[in-house]
Structure 1
């Protein structure tokens, strides 16, 4: 008689999907932010302990994301340049990308101008010209040319900020920043040089691919913290700003968010359908990047996630995505550079009693389509707005009227920015016949952190990219 032992299989603890985790973080963040808002400031005028904690959690997550961006962009672009040697239509891909940047930006600025004229946000506001003040940040076309020239081989810079405390003490803090556009330029030059070098560059390219795999592994350890980062970011926003600031700028804020909604939920779906792509599949695939952009308010900080969803969820080949997505993150901003400056310029003109002519509206469109690249290395939408106002000859003091609610608007703007940055590479890949339609059709938010995806290597996509042959062109009709 023998003893038989039956082993019960251990039940593996199942966590909610990544999207559910982020949504839970979002809801809990709103709740904690509201509690922190009710607590108010300390007797000394400082943020309370809960606001400080939320701020620390959120800012730490964004800092981690931004820290991984420079090596990721550099390594990915150098690798993509090497892979593009095997793709016969590389130049066409680049031009098609830029063309669709311009097309979607032109449509977005048209939506902004139309809503500005229809809703008349400046005429309905209780603000006056005396309430404005000039912001410290400004933008010009010269900034674009200067921003293209790297100060060092990775576009890293440092700045010192001097502040005066309540007790009169002067404090100096040094911060390190990076210019993504400069990193793109340097990576393009290095990648092209490696191709021209030939066999001698093969060890360098092999090391580059290995380093990229390591950086991507570190990246996904950071991305797994997104639910916690979401909690901190949205909680800090609610605790700091609330919604009271919207009262005197209600019509203006409504116009901005209505314009963002029209572009995100009408314009982009029409473009998708016109190119024979499913709307639901796109939003399922791009949703992790869109939701992170909303809470983080940073296209650059969201860049690693955007690139991941474009490749893994939407089926764009890595050799093309690793070139198009970093470029889009620095120059493709339908929210910040098209809708926002168009409506804001009309708002400022109405507040200061300036009548805009047809030529002025054409200038707004031109600045929005071309000017986003001019602000790539600078501070987001405020610089873009000053560039638009200065081009039209409007008072820069109008910028100060809008800064109070800028963080609230920036959440929606950044979400639309990132949605557009995922849309254009997908559309171009579809039109050029290199989109993985099966992967696109099965796009799911859960694919982002799937184990088999996490363990993929650059070589896997390299084989797929190398064998891509553009499909025969057929007439595409809306369905």
Structure 2
């Protein structure tokens, strides 16, 4: 019996997940709700487990490959210039929508919900994040769970990238002595890519469970009190994803239809997993299917996954900052709008490895001198918004490497790459 195409499998999984989520929520079935949560969490954990070895080996391999390219400097410069340009467009859309729709003036949320977040953004976090605490970029954190303290390990992706670049450059500069290490790294990268392919085969099950769990936990009732704000965010996300990105593709002689057909598995996974980091391996795969060379994709995509966030770091903080100012009746002037633009274009790098949207929002609010408690007003619907934000983030993380490769004459648009979900 022939299996349906993978996209159809994912759609079926999402439909089943939605149905199970509504059943669990409507009939108060804790067993079903917990089952959806466990399956979804396991899927995301499997993806996250591959991030560290894939990012490390991919960047080391890309450093080795870039040594043979005469235009490596232009590729890196072009990448970050396009990061900034697309972020500028996205934040401009966010400011326009926030000004026109006035979400803070039409909010039905109570002032009692204004709570200062535990996590806040700081420009110093960027400087600290550049210096690895250890060779693996691991960090220990303690948080309260069910009344008790729980300590766990996490990794700072920005630090991991810095370590990988340093080791890759050192291995190349070492010459013959570094050749065996680079060969071993290339072999390890091939192995981890194969494991990735096994994991992503579980996407129909994982996406369905994640979507169903989101319905159980949050539903859609929370949208009513902050309806104008949510509408502004999703209009902005839709404009960037379906208008700005296609126009940028057309302006560079590329097909929007082919881009979305190829990149959709990563965009879809970003939507349901709400994590650019968990989606990173799949994003890299679809970028290669777009015709971007493996050496450049392995360099650009990990950087993009931590610093290229048009949803979380451009549209959302722009609309949210205007929401807070309008809610508290605090007038903003021209210089304040310029500060929002500056923070959005530069600030996403300062939040690399942290909780992107919340840290980015508090960084924007503190820069403008707005009350940080205003961020607490928006936390109730943040998970619902985060799905759309992350989908746009991932789309941008695939878009920019493709555009830069095209402009440098390195894009093989007829590439017959191995499909992501074979």
* Same topology, TM > 0.5: yes
* Counterpart position of 1:477: none
Residues 449-476 of structure 1 show CA distances to partners (whole Å, capped at 9, x for unaligned) of: 33xxxxxxxxxxxxxxxxxxxxxxxxxx
**So what's the TM-score if we normalise by structure 1?**
0.87
Structure 1: where are the runs of 5+ without partners? 1-12, 42-47, 451-479
SS of 1:172's equivalent in the other structure is: strand
* Counterpart position of 1:333: 309
* Counterpart position of 1:99: 81
Over the aligned positions, Cα root-mean-square deviation in angstroms equals 1.2
Match of residue 223, structure 2, among 234, 246, 251: 246
What are the equivalent positions in structure 2 for 1:256-267 lying under 5 Å apart? 256-267=233-244
Match of residue 271, structure 1, among 248, 269, 273: 248
Larger Rg: 1
Q: Is the 8 A contact 2:63 2:165 kept in 1?
A: yes
* Counterpart position of 1:30: 18
1:79 has 2:67 as partner: no
Residues 404-461 of structure 1 show CA distances to partners (whole Å, capped at 9, x for unaligned) of: 000000000000000000000000000000000213xx89xx93233xxxxxxxxxxx
Q: CA deviation at 1:161?
A: 2.1
Could you say which structure has the higher helix fraction?
2
* Counterpart position of 1:420: 396
SS of 1:277's equivalent in the other structure is: coil
Moved more, 410-419 or 377-386: 377-386
**So what's the TM-score if we normalise by structure 2?**
0.98
Structure 2: where are the runs of 5+ without partners? none
Q: Is the 8 A contact 1:129 1:352 kept in 2?
A: no
Residues 244-270 of structure 1 show CA distances to partners (whole Å, capped at 9, x for unaligned) of: 001110000000000000000000000
User: Quick one: distance in 1 between partners of 2:136 and 2:307?
Assistant: 18
Residues 181-214 of structure 1 show CA distances to partners (whole Å, capped at 9, x for unaligned) of: 1111000001111111011110110011011111
Name the count of aligned residue pairs: 422
* Counterpart position of 1:447: 419
User: Quick one: distance in 2 between partners of 1:171 and 1:349?
Assistant: 37
* Counterpart position of 1:358: 334
* Counterpart position of 1:8: none
User: Quick one: distance in 1 between partners of 2:238 and 2:263?
Assistant: 16
Q: Is the 8 A contact 1:127 1:351 kept in 2?
A: no
User: Quick one: distance in 2 between partners of 1:172 and 1:126?
Assistant: 35
1:289 has 2:266 as partner: yes
* Counterpart position of 2:118: 136
User: Quick one: distance in 2 between partners of 1:78 and 1:210?
Assistant: 12
* Counterpart position of 1:407: 383
Q: Runs of 4+ in structure 1 displaced over 6 angstroms?
A: none
Q: Is the 8 A contact 2:362 2:372 kept in 1?
A: yes
What are the equivalent positions in structure 2 for 1:35-114 lying under 5 Å apart? 35-40=23-28, 48-114=30-96
User: Quick one: distance in 2 between partners of 1:231 and 1:327?
Assistant: 29
* Counterpart position of 1:123: 105
SS of 2:103's equivalent in the other structure is: coil
